[in-house]
């Protein structure tokens, strides 16, 4: 798809938004149904620690981050550090589209986006566009759909069997996801990179945590930017390296599955045209435990081992300022609840 074709698609979306111009409801209607528990729907919360910055800044985070993570890194267990990057400039600055536009006003920076909103999906098309054009798309999207998701996944007042995405998801034809792009130079001073994964201080921006402590070899491989409207998805997959996902704007929901030592192929990785580290299964089909849903019936028919042999899943909601440690080879599925901007680092 050429830049001209992409621009034409954005224009068509804008006309569509203007034509619809309906009021957005503040509430969501959920469908309740008879339920039956399956092993693949067994949910456990990801462990979490709270790190509240003190009155002098974020010294508590600097002194203790590696200490907090050490037992989780040793045992290869995921954990959320609440507030770990709350003091990073990105957590405040990146909520403003004006800031982004100023940062790239004199730049011809190009970014790769997924037309269809699902990273790596066969149904999505990956193309390059100017980042300023993408920012215009996000503003148009928010005019139509808003920035904040209609469902709060961490709302204790909503029963778990009613937390289903089918009733409020955005059509994939309207989703464009800026997924897995190298963090542009213009934004390097806005983020903190944990020092434990860059013992050689290879990142020129500010470090996070005690610079004398490392986890593993402390070898930083890449720093990636993920940005998109609510409804964008990274499908169920694993990464070969340890991962720190830092949430700066909006919320994300993450589902995780422990890697299994057995020869079970419950994940069906590589099937249906997927990469060998990616599953064709959407684990969200288990959210409502609706045994009559078409999606769940399809999983039962095509991927029966997922229901029978998948390990219990862990779940967390990332809020702005949170850091999630995802150990190497843990399966994870990520969905943006709101307009979202995140940075992740892979290290060994």
Residue 273 vs residue 209, higher pLDDT = 273
Cα angle for residues 241, 244, 249 (degrees, 5° grid): 140
> What is the per-residue pLDDT across 7-61, written as a single tens digit (0 to 9) for each?
566 656 555 445 444 333 333 222 222 333 345 556 788 988 777 655 444 555 5
CB of 141 closer than 8 Å to CB of 18: no
Higher-pLDDT residue of 201, 116: 116
Least confident of 13-27, 84-98, 176-190, 273-287: 13-27
Domain residue spans in the chain? 3-14+38-154+162-347
- For residue 3, is pLDDT > 70? no
> Which pLDDT does position 100 carry in this prediction?
98
User: In the structure, what pLDDT confidence band is assigned to residue 143 with cuts at 50, 70 and 90?
Assistant: very high
- The pLDDT tens digits for 276-315 are 889 999 999 888 756 557 888 899 999 999 999 999 999 9
pTM: 0.82
Q: What HEC string does the chain produce?
A: CCHHHHHHHHHHHHHHHHHHCCCCCCCCCCCCCCECCCHHHCEEECEEEECCCCCCCCHHHHHHHHHHHHHHHHHCCCEEEECCCCCCHHHHHCCCHHHHHHHCCCCCCEEEEEECCECCCCCCEEEEEEHHHHHHHHHHHHHHHCCCCCCCCCCCCCCHHHCCCCCCCCCHHHCEEEEEEECCHHHHHHCEEEHHHCCCCCCCCEEECCCCCCCCCCCEEEEEEEEECCCCEEEEECCCCEEEEEEEECCEEEEEECCCCCCCCCCCCCHHHCCCCECCCCHHHHCCCECCCHHHHHHHHHCHHHHHHCCCEEEEEECCCCEEEECCCCEEEEEECCCEEEEEEEEC
Q: What is the pLDDT of residues 315-342, one digit of tens each?
A: 999 999 999 999 999 999 999 999 999 9
Here the tokens at position 102 are 């100023």
Judged against a pLDDT cut of 90, whether residue 190 lies above it is answered with yes
Contact 175, 144 (CB under 8 A): no
The mean pLDDT of the chain is 81
Class of domain 3-14+38-154+162-347: mainly beta
Average pLDDT over residues 243-250: 98
How would residue 108 be classed by pLDDT, with cut points 50, 70 and 90? very high
pLDDT in tens, 160-173: 544 555 445 788 88
For 219, the token pair is 């070898």
- Asked if pLDDT for residue 96 goes beyond 90, the answer is yes
Predicted pLDDT at 28: 28
| pLDDT (average), residues 198-209 | 64
% of the chain with per-residue pLDDT over 70:
72
């Amino acid at each position: 798809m050429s830049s001209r074709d992409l621009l034409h698609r954005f224009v068509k979306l804008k006309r569509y938004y203007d034509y619809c111009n309906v009021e957005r409801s503040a509430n969501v209607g959920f469908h309740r149904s008879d339920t039956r528990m399956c092993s693949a729907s067994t949910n456990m919360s990801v462990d979490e620690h709270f790190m509240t910055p003190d009155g002098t800044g974020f010294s508590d985070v600097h002194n203790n981050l590696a200490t907090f993570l050490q037992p989780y890194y040793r045992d290869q267990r995921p954990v959320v550090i609440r507030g770990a990057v709350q003091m990073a400039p990105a957590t405040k600055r990146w909520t403003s589209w004006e800031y982004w536009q100023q940062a790239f006003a004199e730049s011809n920076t190009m970014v790769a986006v997924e037309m269809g909103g699902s990273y790596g999906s066969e149904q999505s098309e990956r193309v390059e566009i100017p980042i300023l054009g993408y920012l215009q798309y996000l503003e148009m999207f928010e005019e139509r759909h808003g920035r904040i998701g209609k469902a709060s996944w961490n709302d204790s007042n909503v029963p778990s069997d009613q937390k289903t995405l089918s009733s409020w998801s955005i059509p994939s034809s309207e989703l464009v996801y800026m997924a897995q792009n190298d963090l542009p130079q213009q934004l390097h001073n806005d983020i903190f990179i944990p020092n434990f994964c860059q013992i050689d201080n290879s990142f020129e921006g500010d470090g996070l945590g005690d610079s004398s402590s490392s986890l593993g070899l402390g070898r930083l491989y890449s720093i990636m930017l993920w940005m998109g409207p609510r409804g964008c998805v990274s499908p169920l997959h694993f990464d070969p390296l340890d991962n720190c996902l830092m949430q700066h704007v909006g919320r994300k929901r993450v589902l995780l599955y422990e890697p299994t030592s057995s020869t079970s192929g419950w994940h069906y990785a590589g099937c249906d045209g997927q990469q060998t580290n990616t599953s064709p299964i959407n684990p969200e089909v288990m959210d409502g435990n609706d045994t009559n849903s078409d999606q769940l019936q399809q999983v039962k028919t095509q991927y029966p081992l997922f229901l029978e042999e998948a390990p219990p899943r862990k779940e967390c909601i990332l809020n702005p300022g949170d850091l999630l440690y995802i150990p190497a080879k843990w399966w994870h599925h990520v969905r943006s609840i709101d307009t979202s901007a995140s940075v992740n680092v892979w290290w060994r």
